[in-house]
Amino acid sequence: MNEKLIEKIKKAGIIKEGNFILKSGKTSKIYFDLRKIYKHPELVDLIVSELKKKIEELKLEITAIASSGYGGIPLATILSNKTRLPLILVRDIPKDHGRKSNIDGYVPNETDKILIVDDVLASGTSIKQTVDNLKNTQAKIIGAIVVIHREEGELNIPIYCLVKVSELLK
């Protein structure tokens, strides 16, 4: 458990209490507003450094980083830069102009090994959508890495996290 990261997340006001509807449609008394980290560049640096360190510790053999949505894309962009790996930006639905694609940035192929980056994992709706949108590329999804894992829902890919909700709410 990363005590320093947990302390900084708490101080940044990311944990909100109330009645919230999550992307999955489920309700929750707690919401993790990780977009608040962008007010704290030193916290963003710490999170991205911890993500990079976790990837290295796990010895994940990846050739590209993917993400979708407002929560994951900023983190994935910075992580892509720090790791010097190509960035795949995955849209929920294809654009209705230009290439009319749902993949921007690097377009992976069957030789790629992809790690999906997201901010919070609750039911996995966002990550499942990203996996589905990458299927046509025939790239291999190595797993997903998130900052906070709510310890709910299951996915058919390995999930790695920096902090579990049970650790954060102690």
Residues 19/49, Cβ–Cβ less than 8 Å: no
Average pLDDT, the chain: 92
| Bridge partner residues of 103 (DSSP) | 90
- This prediction has a pTM of 0.93
3-state secondary structure of 137: helix
Q: Please report which confidence band the pLDDT of residue 152 belongs to, taking 50, 70 and 90 as the band edges.
A: confident
Q: Which of 36, 128, 119 is nearest to 73 (CA)?
A: 119
pLDDT of residue 1: 56
Give per-residue pLDDT as tens, 19-75: 999 888 889 999 999 999 999 999 999 999 999 999 999 999 999 999 998 889 999
Give the model confidence (pLDDT) of 114-128 as tens digits: 999 999 998 898 999
Kindly report, residue by residue over 101-113, the tens digit of the pLDDT: 889 999 999 999 9
Q: Domains in the chain, ordered, with CATH? A: 3-168 (3.40.50.2020)
Beta-carbon contacts of 136 under 8 Å, excluding residues fewer than 6 positions away, are: none
List, as own/partner pairs, every contact residues 93-100 make where C-beta atoms lie below 8 angstroms and the sequence separation is at least 24, other chains included: none
Mean of pLDDT values over 139-167: 94
Among 46-60, 85-99, 152-166, the range of highest mean pLDDT: 46-60
Interacting residues of 46 by C-beta distance below 8 A, sequence separation 6+? 4, 5, 8
pLDDT of residue 73: 95
